[in-house]
Structures are given as structure tokens and as C-alpha cells.
Amino acid sequence: MAETTPAAPDPADEHPSSGPAEDLVVSYCFPPYVDTSAIVAAKRVREAGRSVDVLQNKMSSQRSTDPGLASIADHLVVRRHQLPSPTLFSSWRGITGFTQRGLQRALQWDREGAGYARLYSRAHFTASHVLAARLALLRPGMRWTAEFSDPLSRDVTGAVRHAPAQDGPLLEVLGEGISRAGFRPPTTGNSFQWAEQLAFALADTLVFTNEHQRELMLETVEDDQLVERVRGRSEVSPHPTLPPSFYTMADPDYPLDPDRRHLGYFGNFYATRGMGSVLAALEALPGRLRSQVGLHVFAGRREEVEREVERRGLGDCVRVGPFVGYLDFLALCTRMDVLLVSDAVTDGLLATNPFLPSKWSDYRGSGTSVWGMVEPGSVLDAQPLQHRSPVEHTSAAVQVLAEIARG
């Protein structure tokens, strides 16, 4: 692929700190944008504790910003550039735009110093690994760590995700790189599978958040040597938990009735999550016990939850609010008596549940009891939960609620 003249520096996107950085982070989504993948990438930077330069996409058209996220890792960011490529999460045009622009900037920064020693990329989103692979091919001395938040080429139902990769210079040079590494490039033309296999074949270290995820992703790899490579170079590392000081940085104005036990749920109201069984359990709970609990739902689909609460006649014990800023979320976690987290429902769809909700890492640091609605044998099921019930099992949820109400 022909390389163009590096873009001129954009002072508005670069924030010199103490440096120079020896690590380059390629994360399509990174703070200040509000996104689970962005937050975890920042946590990884903080966990490593080294100064970094960051290449990310400019995502203002698709994601809101949260200034509180700066407290996670901005003190370690020497330079940052938000690439003005189209925010298209799986389109090859978006991947190509991000890769071409990011490669220019990365090579420029690399030449300005002694050269990067380490490269880290995280996906979702696929473009992160594609850009990192392109750079790794040009700078083989750079140690590349590629992290997967979830399987890329399989969705929560087990179905294959597909977005066409288009023939052209980028795909050609990436395919040649996989071949030189001793493996066969994908033949499906699926950009999700390309992103997975690029990391499998070229990254020095592969990070998975749990073993179920790694096994599911390797199921579809037909090359035994590639499977062996991944197993030999991979590590399982759950999402990091922030230090206790983060839970006291904010002080949101959110009064709580001292005569009730308060349960908090933070996140989207997914049809494949277990919140419906909690609402059904509240309906079935005897009135004297229901009056002793309060459920607080901070949801992305607030109107949908409000309609469901009204339909079930639960307005006396369920309070629905919008998403809150990250630091407010951490502070509110410490004020609740119980925090709710639910597995995705994969029974009958996948052999094992490969999804560990990222909020578990935040809940774990709060010191608050956690109620997990779990699929038996899932990664969440293996965590030290104070309360546990099978996902989508209303009668079991009633028992847990009664236990909580009684204190």
C-alpha cells in the first residue's frame, strides 16, 4: 500500500505531557467518549502505568463525552490525535479511513522519537486491530498486544457478524502479512474475521477477558497451528477495577429513602438481559416486603423502562433515571444496598456463555453487595456474588428480593 505524506500536526488534538511515550495505544473509541470499550482501554493504560500516545477516532457524531473519564488515564497521555475518519463501526470504508489516517500519524510520531517499544489495540471496534496490524507489519520490532472485549465475528446470539471487506491495496498488504507469518488469510471477505485473524497471526500477545471467550473465538479457526499460536501467546485478564478513591470523586444529588433497601441497575435495558424477571418478581412480591425495597434503574432506554414500570404498576418501588456520568455512577454504586448485574441469555445459542459484563469490574470495587442473575456455568456465575439467581427465573428472583427486603 502506497504511503502518503504525513498529515501536519493538529495542535488541538495533541496534549504534550511528560514524555516521550514509548507506548502507542490504538483504540477506535477512547475517552472522553462514553463507551464501555473506551473506559476499559483507559483502565488498561492506567493499569500499565506508562506514558502513552493515543490514536482514536473522532466520535462526536455517535458518542457523547464525559469529562469525568479524564481522571482514569489522561495523566499518562502524552499525545492524542482524534482521527477525522467516518464513524462507521463495521463498514470497510470506515476501517480504511481510520487505518490510512492513523498510519500516517503513527509513523510520524514514531520517527519523531526513538521509536515505540510497545503497541496496544483494543476491539471492539475492528478498526483498532486493522490499524495496529498495518503498523506492526511496518515496525516489526514493536511488541503488539491486541485485546478482545468480546468475540468480533459472533454476536450475542451466536450468529456470525458480517461486514464485507473490499479488495484493494489495504486488504492485499494485510493478506501478504498474514501469509509471511505462515498462515492463510481469510477467504470469507468478512471484515470481522479479518480483524480477528490479523491479531491471531501477528500480535505478540493476545488478551481475552475470560477463557470462555477465547474458546468460542478459536472454535471457528481451522488452522491448528494458528490455534496453537493463539494459545501460546494469549492471557486471560478480566476488566480492571479502579482504586477506591474513584468512588468518592463525585457527590451526586440523589436522595434515598432511609426506610427502604435500595437496589441499583445501571445500563441498557436489553431484551437479552434479565431485568424483566426482576420487574416480574417485584410484581409477585408481597406488599409488605415490596414496601421495604426500592429499585433504581439508570437506563439508556429510559422511556421503555418507564412504560414497563407503569404497565406493571410498580411506580411505588421503581425509580427510573437516565444514564449518569461515570464518576457519578461509581459514587452511586457505594450508596446502594445491592447492585444488579445480569448475564446475556445464550442458552441454546452458544456452548458456553463468553460474556462477562464489564460493569462487574466497577461493582466489585464499590464494596456493595452484588446480585447476579446468571446462566449456570457462566463467567459471571463463577464470581463472588452475594446474591445469585438463574437469569429469567422469576420465582428465584422473588426469593432473592424477599431476602434483601428482610435485611
Tell me, yes or no, whether 51 and 177 share the same domain. Answer: yes
Q: How does pLDDT run along the chain (407 residues), one tens digit per residue?
A: 333 333 333 433 555 455 689 999 999 999 999 999 999 999 999 999 999 999 999 999 989 999 999 999 999 999 999 999 888 878 899 999 999 999 999 999 999 989 999 999 999 899 999 999 999 999 999 999 999 988 888 887 778 888 999 999 999 999 999 999 999 999 989 999 999 999 999 999 999 999 999 999 998 899 999 999 999 999 999 999 999 999 999 999 999 999 999 999 998 765 335 578 899 999 999 999 999 999 999 987 788 888 889 999 999 999 999 889 999 999 999 999 999 999 888 888 888 888 888 899 999 999 999 999 999 999 999 999 999 999 989 999 999 999 999 98
Count the residues in the chain: 407
Tell me, yes or no, whether 214 and 330 share the same domain. Answer: no
Classify each residue of 262-283 as buried b or exposed e, where b means 16 or more C-beta atoms within 10 Å of its C-beta.
bbbbbbebbeebbbbbbbbbbe
Last residue of a domain, one of 236, 265, 287: 236
pLDDT at 270: 53
- 167 Rama class: left (phi>0) / alpha (psi -120 to 50) / beta: beta
Does 2 reside within a domain?
Answer: no
Helices (H) and strands (E) counted in the chain, each on its own, are 14, 13
Residues 6+ apart with CB under 8 A from 160: 153, 154, 190, 192
Half-sphere exposure of 15 (CA within 13 A, CB side): 13
* Cis previous bond, 384, omega within 30: no
Q: Which amino acid is at 20?
A: P
What's the domain range around 372?
244-405
Tell me, yes or no, whether 70 and 136 share the same domain. Answer: yes
Alpha helix segments (H runs only) across 299-386: 302-312, 326-335, 359-364
Tell me, yes or no, whether 215 and 257 share the same domain. Answer: no
Does 1 reside within a domain?
Answer: no
Last residue of a domain, one of 236, 262, 290: 236
Residues 279-333: tens digit of each pLDDT: 999 999 999 999 999 999 998 778 888 888 999 999 999 999 988 999 999 999 9
Last residue of a domain, one of 236, 258, 293: 236
Tell me, yes or no, whether 360 and 267 share the same domain. Answer: yes
CATH of the domain at 154: 3.40.50.2000
Tell me, yes or no, whether 223 and 267 share the same domain. Answer: no
Does 249 reside within a domain?
Answer: yes
Please count the structural domains in the chain.
2
pLDDT at 157: 78
Widest CA span of the chain, in angstroms? 72
Does 176 reside within a domain?
Answer: yes
DSSP collapsed to 3 states, 31-88? CCECCHHHHHHHHHHHHHCCCEEEEEECCCCCCCECHHHHHHHHHHEEEEEEECCCCC
Does 27 reside within a domain?
Answer: yes
pLDDT at 10: 43
Contact, 201 vs 183, CB < 8 A?
Answer: yes
Angle, alpha carbons 120-61-306 (nearest 5°): 105
Please give the distance of CA 285 from its chain centroid, rounded to a whole number.
Answer: 35
Contact, 11 vs 79, CB < 8 A?
Answer: no
Tell me, yes or no, whether 128 and 263 share the same domain. Answer: no
Does 6 reside within a domain?
Answer: no
Tell me, yes or no, whether 158 and 248 share the same domain. Answer: no
Classify each residue of 168-186 as buried b or exposed e, where b means 16 or more C-beta atoms within 10 Å of its C-beta.
eebbeebbebbeeeebebb
pLDDT at 161: 87
* Cis previous bond, 32, omega within 30: yes
Tell me, yes or no, whether 389 and 293 share the same domain. Answer: yes
Does 316 reside within a domain?
Answer: yes
Tell me, yes or no, whether 398 and 379 share the same domain. Answer: yes
pTM, 2 dp: 0.91
Distance from C-alpha of 389 to C-alpha of 378, rounded to nearest angstrom? 12
Angle between helix axes 224-233 and 211-219 (nearest 10 degrees) is: 160
Please give the distance of CA 42 from its chain centroid, rounded to a whole number.
Answer: 11
SS3 content of the chain, % helix, strand, coil (to 5): 40, 20, 40
Tell me, yes or no, whether 50 and 180 share the same domain. Answer: yes
Tell me, yes or no, whether 282 and 361 share the same domain. Answer: yes
Residue 374: exposed, middle, or buried by beta-carbon count in 10 A (0-12, 13-18, 19+)? buried
Does 5 reside within a domain?
Answer: no
pLDDT at 14: 52
